Structure 1
Amino acid sequence: MAYSENIAQRIRSSLEHLANVEEKKMFGSLAFMVNGKMCLTAGPKRMMCRIDPKLHEQEVRKIGCSTVVMRGRNYKGYIHVQEENLKQENDFEHWIELALDFNEQLTSKGK
């Protein structure tokens, strides 16, 4: 499994206050499921955040960010953030908060 243990540990620490968190290995990364929904992943030298698709265009413009692409398809609402752009705690927490906010929206809709 080729993922950044540093990112994985930082995500664990940020989610430790939540009751319903599960870790799953998928897509060559370590996914963090919150309330049964994919929320964040620790990948090789990057973190993937699942955010509100309405915020995608604004957030993906930030340095070190890119849209997740799988099998040639762009996934709006899924953003990779390079590890070097997560060094500052406030930058890291920004992405955690966006992912958790969207996760709450998904959970409250019952999806």
Structure 2
Amino acid sequence: MAYNETLANRIRGALTLFPEKFTEKKMFGGIAFLLEGKMTVGAINDDLMVRVISTKMNNVLNQEHVRPMDFTGKPMKEFVFVAMDGCQTEEQLQQWIELGVEHAKSKLKNG
């Protein structure tokens, strides 16, 4: 598998707006961006992968261009895919990244 390099570069650029430092790691055949070792968002094929805290999953899944991340044929807990149409603008991308960062921070607080 590959990932959309343009999307990955847009994510890199958007992450510079955060005070935290992010690392990159190849995962799921794509690239993931981590905050202190916790996944936030990533690019897999032409999709944006986003980690979402469980209490927001239902609302997020009801949004247009969003589907469960079913990488193995079974939906993965707290992961969604966002199609390119759902993150065309930098504002849309930033909102998705904020959800992913929120998830990572919640995991860091909880150990």
TM-score > 0.5 by shorter chain: yes
Determine the structure 1 residue equivalent to 2:2: 2
User: Deviation per CA, 1:21-53, whole angstroms, max 9, x where unpaired?
Assistant: 111112111111111111111111110000101
Q: Distance in 2 between matches of 1:29 and 1:80?
A: 12
Off by >4 Å, runs of 4+ in structure 1: none
| Identity percentage of aligned residues | 29
Matches within 5 A, 1:23-34: 23-34=24-35
Q: Distance in 2 between matches of 1:35 and 1:47?
A: 20
Cα pair 1:68 1:79 within 8 Å, conserved: yes
SS of the residue aligned with 1:74?
coil
Q: Distance in 2 between matches of 1:2 and 1:72?
A: 18
Determine the structure 1 residue equivalent to 2:52: 51
Using the size of structure 2 for normalisation, the TM-score is: 0.89
**Number of aligned positions between the proteins:** 110
Matches within 5 A, 1:58-97: 58-97=59-98
Cα pair 1:55 1:77 within 8 Å, conserved: no
Gapped regions of structure 1 (runs ≥ 5): none
Gapped regions of structure 2 (runs ≥ 5): none
Q: Distance in 2 between matches of 1:58 and 1:4?
A: 26
Letter aligned with residue 88 of structure 1: T
Using the size of structure 1 for normalisation, the TM-score is: 0.89
Q: Distance in 2 between matches of 1:103 and 1:18?
A: 14
Q: Distance in 2 between matches of 1:20 and 1:107?
A: 14
1:13 aligns with 2:13: yes
Which is further off, 64-73 or 52-61? 64-73
- The alpha carbon displacement at 1:69 in A equals 1.2
Task: Give 1 or 2: higher strand fraction.
Answer: 1
Cα–Cα, structure 1 residues 73 and 4, in superposed 2: closer, same or farther, change >3 Å? same
